[in-house]
């Protein structure tokens, strides 16, 4: 009984930490979007996307509104920027680390330490990005959608791939991918059809993947976990198969 209770408390604590991390990431995305395009979601596609992602992460409405209000206020002088870092993990696995930071000096120092502890090495810009392609990605609720019909309709709007996936809540979603330059076209097409977008953004997809035995895979995943623990880190992508 005692052990079960302790396990439950630990699970709740871990979930709380994950939520706090997700809310921090979403709040920064909202701040960047507001300062770049204003506080009106109707006229700011980037803000609409940031709000969608915040809702997908279960960020409460009052926190979303608060993040918008804070970013649009004259007193908020914090300037977040998106910075991409590259490197190699153990066993030669390539890593792309997307960050959202107001202090790149702090961020690069933290990441360099994490790479070192995880038996990896940070690289220069371009050192591993040539191994990846950049895609826009949208997740949709599948209910009421004719997949074949949707695919045919969206091919002319940049759709390259339609597949299945899971949301952060573990719910089934349709995953749509497009070339980075077609992101706005596909977003507009989805909005014109009033389709419910669960989340959207960009991802780095490896052109070829590296297969490793389980023990070596675990070493890479530990480094990824270490990197993701940093508040400035938004996403980590690898070429691990």
| Domain boundaries, given as residue ranges, for the chain | 2-72, 80-241
Q: Spell out where 102-218 has E strands.
A: 121-123, 132-140, 159-166, 172-179, 197-206
If you classify domain 2-72 with CATH, what class do you get? mainly alpha
96-117 pLDDT, tens digit per residue, is 999 999 999 999 999 999 999 9
Report residue 51 CA to chain centroid gap: 13
What average pLDDT does the segment 67-71 reach?
93
**CATH entry, 80-241, from 3.30.70.980, 3.10.20.310, 3.40.50.300, 3.40.50.2000:** 3.30.70.980
Alpha carbon distance 53, 23 (integer Å) = 10
Q: What percent of the chain has pLDDT over 90?
A: 77
74-95 pLDDT, tens digit per residue, is 778 889 999 999 999 999 999 9
pLDDT at 21: 83
pTM of the model: 0.84
pLDDT at 149: 94
Confidence of residue 166 (pLDDT cuts 50, 70, 90): confident
């Amino acid at each position: 009984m005692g052990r079960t209770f302790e396990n439950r408390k630990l699970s709740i604590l871990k979930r709380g930490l994950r939520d706090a991390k997700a809310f921090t990431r979403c709040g920064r995305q909202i701040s960047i979007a507001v300062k770049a395009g204003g506080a009106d979601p109707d006229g700011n596609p980037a803000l609409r996307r940031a709000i969608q992602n915040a809702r997908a992460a279960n960020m409460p409405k009052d926190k979303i509104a608060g993040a918008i209000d804070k970013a649009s206020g004259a007193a908020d002088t914090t300037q977040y920027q998106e910075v991409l870092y590259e490197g190699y993990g153990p066993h030669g696995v390539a890593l792309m680390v997307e960050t959202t930071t107001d202090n790149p000096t702090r961020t690069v120092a933290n990441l360099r330490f994490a790479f070192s502890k995880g038996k990896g090495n940070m690289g220069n810009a371009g050192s591993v990005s040539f191994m990846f392609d950049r895609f826009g990605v949208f997740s949709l609720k599948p209910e009421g959608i004719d997949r074949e019909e949707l695919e045919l309709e969206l091919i002319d709007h940049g759709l390259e791939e339609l597949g299945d996936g899971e949301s952060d809540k573990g719910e089934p979603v349709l995953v749509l991918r497009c070339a980075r330059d077609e992101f706005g076209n596909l977003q507009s097409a989805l909005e014109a059809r009033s389709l419910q977008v669960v989340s959207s953004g960009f991802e780095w997809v490896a052109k070829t993947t590296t297969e490793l035995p389980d023990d070596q895979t675990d070493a890479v995943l530990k480094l990824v976990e270490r990197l993701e623990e940093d508040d400035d880190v938004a996403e980590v992508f690898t070429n691990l198969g």
